[in-house]
A and B are shown apart, each in its own frame.
Chain A
Amino acid sequence: MPFWKASALTTRYDRLKELMDFWSMLLATATIPVVKTHRIRTVSLNFAVGLRYALRPIETVFCGSPINCSPPCSSFVVDLRRDCRDSLAGDVGGKDGLKNLHGGHDSISHVLIASNPYRYVVELDLESVSLPGIQSDNTGYDECIKDCDKAVEKDRKLRPGKEQLEKVSTGSRQERLVLLALLLLCTPSPLMCMCSPQSCDQSVGERGLSLKLTVWIGGNPVEGNVETELESLEIERRVCYLATKGIKITDRLLGEESQKAMEFEFRRRDYGADHESHLLPRSRTQKHPLSSPIASRQHQMKTVRDNDPPDFFDPLRGLDVNASAEDKVEEEEEADTSLSTEAVTQELTKEWKSLKRILIQRFPVSKVISFSPISNVITKGFKVETPSAQSHLEETGSEKTSLEETAKVMDQQEYLAKVRELIDGITKAWEAEDRVTSLKLSIKVTKLLMDTTVLQFYPTVFVVVTDMLDMVGDMVWERIKEKAEHDVDGTIICTLPNDFQASDICLEARETCYNWFCKVGSVRELLPRIYLELAILPCWRFLINQPREVLDRLVMMVRGLADPLASLYCRLYMVHRMQKLGFCRSGYLIKCVKDIEDVLAPILVGKDGCSYITDEKKLLFNLMEPAIEYIMKCLLLTGRQENNVLGILEELGFGRNKSQPSDNSSHVSILLHHLLKALPSEIVSSQAMEILHMIKCSNDCSFSQVLNYRLLGNRLCEGRSQEGFLSSIVNEIMQAASQYQTLYDYLRIMDAYVDLLLQNKMENHLDALLDDIVTLARDKFLSEEEQASLQSIILKLLSHFEDLQKVLSLNHFIEILDLMSGTSKKSVNMHLLSMGTRNGCICDSTTVQLLFEVSQGLYDATDFVNIKDDDNRQTSHLISRFVEMVDYGAERERQLLFLAECRGAFSGIHELKETLVRSSNTLAVKAGKKHINFVKSCLAFSEVTIPSVTVPTKQINLYLETAEVALLGGLISHTDGLVMSAVECLEDVAPTDGLKSIDADSMASVVCNLCSLLVMVPGNPEKGVLEILKSIFSATCSSSWAMSRLKVKILCAIISLLSTLAQDNLPYRSANPEIIGNDLLFFGDSSYKNELVSWSQLVVGELVDAIEQESSQTARGNIALEACNCISSALVMNEKVSQLCLRLLETAKGCLGAADRYLEATKQSLHL
């Protein structure tokens, strides 16, 4: 082993041993007589050498902070000094590891471990060294110098740009010495290789030579120096001898390498050139391709708004549209309808559809229903009788049901099926031109609506029956229209325009039409009579132009229905059909609403005069709600269409209070509620006081007053509220709310006003509100509902303020937070957390403390171990994000401490562990090399944390990341440890989690990732350079999770890695310049290359086996080609390799067929 080479590798324990061996050999074979007068005082070579194993006990002696080296790194110093024997002994003792160093080599007790443990000094007594052959004559020396010249010349050719070296060329002794020194530098040892002399500052004195050199190590210029202090020519010769000997030995070794006819040989790669050649041309662009100019978007918005498509109702823009409609009213007064009739009709048609859906969905029916005899149409079944055989009385359906019939029990679905059957009968009869039967069946079906005994079922029946009625109404309409347009013979008389007049209709058609009304009018029972007339209501247009009287009468007729539910639903249908008739005026609707009020009044009061709510009533109001809502909507829409909303309000009793404040005219709350809901927001804003007063007056059991207060608040939020009276409204509301005494009601009401307060910046009121809450909630355990309301208020506050600080500074906010518990607390906490982490880093320590507590609260409230749902995932995500966002800035230790605290506090959150590791890694990188101890503690933290990550792929990834960080910090021993942990983890995965759903694909990519990392990590000769590779290889081969396809992928990666490692220049290296890659470390080391080659042989063998094992044909073909490509790019195409490739191609051909394009392409690239 050549000395210089060896010295470069002394960073390794075993290399050091080799060095020692060399010296002992040298000493043993010394034949030169000791020359006492001339001696080399010192030759110290101070070079920056990235020392590995920084923290391993045995190597502590090598590393540490630099002492006498200009670059800030560990140094290795070889001191050649005389008379140091004495100083050796004392310091060696105690270092266990060093005993191994010179165990058995007494003659080299010249090894000194200086008192400073970071400096490793090898001392040799040159007086005892005698060099052969130099002593006698000068020829040997001259030859030696010639060699030196040659070497320099060669070097100059190989490394252009070093012209300054040529200046020192001629024969003077000093110059030769310089050359000698340069020669030393130029010997092809890795150490020297990485030092390319840049500037050379020579000072050759009487007794010595000193060269100051700037060298490059890993891309960074580093100062170094070579100093020799010479005393005689003899010594000079010895040095020279050493140098030449070194060269010779190297040459011999290289020769041996070339002689070994390798079966495999790695291709030489020029990564720089490859990169250049494959780089796509790039050009700068001015704007981001995804960004669109804001101006055009605004324009787009404008056009959309201008069009105002009536058929498209965007719920998000709905208010806006209304507002603009209202604006238009204000602007142009002559335009009588701001809402076109069609728009209203269309919207109401839509509403009707959704209403039907709501009715069916909202009131699902219990399974079994008992029916009173009225619905015996259903239970009896039906038969179609011949109409002529019946007397008139029977024909009009005034049959009496016999009372003896017992109620039958029937399934709901069965019931509906029978109804549908009946409805089918209607259409069939109609198609068969048997309209009388059709009508009779319709009457029968309609009679079902008379039965309100099963309240919950009523809406469903209503929907089914009204669908039928709509259908019948349409059929009648079509028939009469047909009659009006066509002759008896079918010839067209005229085509009716949409807005035809009654006078356009021929007598015949009108008579038929009137006949229908007569038929329907002869039904005895009121309810079916009304419904059927409503069904054919549009047909009145054939008879009269202004069906005012008809509608007036119908509105009044409904009053005859005493049952509140039946009458309400009947009114609902009436409103719907009025729309169809196209003659819906607010007057009728107001009458309807008033009638509803009259019907509801006695229910509210109850028989004994006091109003209390029973379950039955509750259900009743519940059932009524959708109908009332629809009617109110319809009323307000009509009102807006007529531009008379205020008029409607007046009709309904608004403003009545203004003139007579004593008049306590109360309204039914449920009506008031839906009226308020349907009112345009402008009206709500302008009439807020009125409305508030009405709500105050109406307090009955049909609807909660609290909710009405709430609704007012919500509606006020929608509109542009005038600030003037807003504060007085809020004052009144707060007064009203506090009268409830219970916190729940108070919270529910005020919840609706929080937004209003926030929007209008009414801080005083907000403070008062928070005060009230604290006062009301003091010393109380909050119920679940109260929690929910409080939660809503808090969330509103949170969403209003951008900055968490502002919320925290609100009066009592923390106090109120403490009131919360359970799920609402959790929800609030989540919002707090997400808000806290929204605006970038969290630097304020009190905020961090608060959020930490919040997180802890969240964590305690969640069972992370047993339950895994979305909610938990969100929580853990939030906490992780919080931890990620915390930034203590320069206080790194504190942050690391915080991370440790988090690890302890949130041990159940798996996601967090990743975050912790990444945060600590980030910290380490940020700290940089200056704070190497901190970096170490960060790494230690990561190393401890990673094993608790459960998902193997994540764990390995984290190991690799941390390893990279360690590498960046120059801590090679850490890197090795982490990489080894990753590999162990990989080994563990395979047997235990084989069948678990580990993502094998991602596992494979992790392994590939590991391979790419290994390019940068210097090999560990202590354990064998390819130790890690071997482990990966064996883990892959034995793994149960890796399918053949993935195995091939990994093996290809290994082959690529081997090929890369064999290159003289690695494609990339660690960002830390102190880390030298394997290319330098093992430069010219034939055993290293041999090992690489032999391993590649092994891997290739395994690869071929893995391909054979793949069961799927296509997959096998593809992986064979993949492997072939990999091999061809990694290895020189000698005979063996090409045979191998051909075999693989054969396999691929067998699997994929000869025409496969991948196969073609591969063949082409191989030039086979």
Chain B
Amino acid sequence: MGNGTRLGRVRGLGSSHHGSHHWLQQRLTALGNILLVGFLFVSFLRLPMTDHGAVLRWASNPSVALALILMLVSVFWHLRLGLQVMIEDYVHGEATRLFALVILNFYAIGGAAYGIFAIVRIALAPAALGPGGM
């Protein structure tokens, strides 16, 4: 570190106008989660969960399928941000932390993609054939 001013020594090391980005996204996805996971929670309580046909009819309703897709995006975005902070706090060492963050991104994006694909498959399956193979 050179012997510049105090300001000069930290300039460029900070968040440079993006400091609240992570914080704000965590809050926005939290609001989405309250609505969408709340919907899922109430649905789970009201549905006959052991009856495949009944649950499938519910999930293939276009409004429900859309809500489930939005929920997956909101939840997986939120959990990516949350687990990222956990990794940054507890995983030490540059290489290990970078590796953990890469795995986290694979998990968050892969999990959301798997879930969205499953819902699209349920919602768009021809009614006569029924979905098969996942």
**Are A and B physically bound partners?**
no
User: Residues of B with Cβ closer than 8 Å to A?
Assistant: none
